[in-house]
Amino acid sequence: MDPALEHPLRYALVNELHARPSPRLTAPATAAFVAFKEPRDAANRDHGKDADHLALLVSRHGGPRPDRDDSHYQGQLGRYDLKWESHAEFITYMAMTPGLPIRPFDPSAAAIFPNEWQEKAPGKRVAAVLVQVDWLPEDPTEALDRLSGWFAPESMAAVWVLDETALVAGDFRIDTDGWMRFAVFIRPGTSDGRIGRIVHRLLELETYRAMSMLGLWRARKLGQRLNELEPRLSAILEAMTDDDRHPEQMLHDLLAVSTQLEAEAVQHSFRFGATSAYEAIVSDRIEALRETRFMDRQMLTEFMRRRYQPAMRTTKSVELRLNKMMERAARAAELLRTRVDVERSAQNQNIMSRMDRRADLQLRLQHTVEGLSVVAISYYAVGLLGYALYPVADLIEFPKTYLVAALTPVIVLLVWLSMRHIHRKLHREEQHEL
């Protein structure tokens, strides 16, 4: 094999497909799961802190030390099999132990995650789940009797999954110790790998449901902000029909609203995009379970349709509302800019008309001044030339009055021709410069 033929990322990308295998569980067993997320800007968090938090847990139990550069870890910590994963916005810990606690869903099953260790986590806990895996009784109604004592009847979902390989139940409620509970009853003969995949999909379902619900909280806050901005935008749009309102002031107000809308879009675009992606994963995990109805119990899809999907629709509606308001603001700004441009064009035309009239007056004044200049220059020229020719007129006994009368039209004509020549020369120079 020639390494030069391989893309430098080929092996890394193929290995990524096998980096996070599903866990293997042997019934009966208990799985404790926690997920942590930074409250703000989790996608750009310091991953080194996540690795340090994992190393602290591993060192407490004497397990093999993790590699700080890895995004996943699996190791045996005492009687627990720990599985750790780092995701884009959150990190997850899954600890599996054989057997069941004496009391169903006893928090002692999650003793590997002590409160003092959780308090040192880089983020806050967004999911905490206990899963009990047990064999399915010969009579499934016995399992139903136990489920009725563990979960709230009004919200409990209980379904067959994977062609009735297992019975899965949960009520998506948080108990007094802060844990959400799921029960899994496995038919005898089910492989450890399949049991692990069922539990893993349940945990992913809850994790991504919790992450997607973060968008609902942001949507509610954004909805309140849009309730404040929408009347301002509507008032500006109504004022656009009033010819007495100055468009430049309205444009200034509209730009202020548009700026705030753009700021809200920047702050919420990532969360809304992530919510949509997480919702798709939730639907995929439910579909992968291939659920069928167990007796007359509520199914996961029915629970999600009634309790979860309305929250997702609310988030999408607020996002759509924000986009619509931004589009309205953009169209209004374009209309106002057009109105401002039209008014400015009218003002410019008025200014140009006044400038034309002023230029015409200046031209008339210039012609008047030129005429007076011809008279003045001719007057002085006739006087000077007359004084020069008086001696000649005396020698030939020619009357001075006749001499001045003869010189005047000649001098006026010469001065006028000179002025015309200068004017034409200046005009040609102006045309050449243009």
Question: pLDDT, tens digit, for every residue of 234-245?
Answer: 888 787 777 666
The rounded mean pLDDT for the chain is 84
> 73: which residues sit within 8 A by CB, 6+ positions away?
54, 58, 66, 67, 82, 83, 84, 85
pLDDT beyond 70 at 59: yes
Read off the pLDDT band of 361 (50, 70, 90).
confident
Give the residue-averaged pLDDT of 180-197: 94
Quick one: pLDDT at residue 252?
A: 80
Give the residue-averaged pLDDT of 292-304: 92
One-letter amino acid for residue 83 of the chain: K
The H or E element containing residue 270 is helix 247-289
Give the residue-averaged pLDDT of 155-176: 93
Question: pLDDT, tens digit, for every residue of 300-313?
Answer: 999 999 989 999 99
Q: Would strands 180-186 and 124-135 be described as parallel, antiparallel, or unpaired?
A: parallel
Distance CA 263, CA 261 (A): 5
> 29: which residues sit within 8 A by CB, 6+ positions away?
96, 97, 98, 99, 100, 133, 195
Domain ranges of the chain: 19-191, 213-349, 356-433
Read off the pLDDT band of 4 (50, 70, 90).
low
3-state secondary structure 43-66: HHCCHHHHHHHHHHHHHHHCCCCC
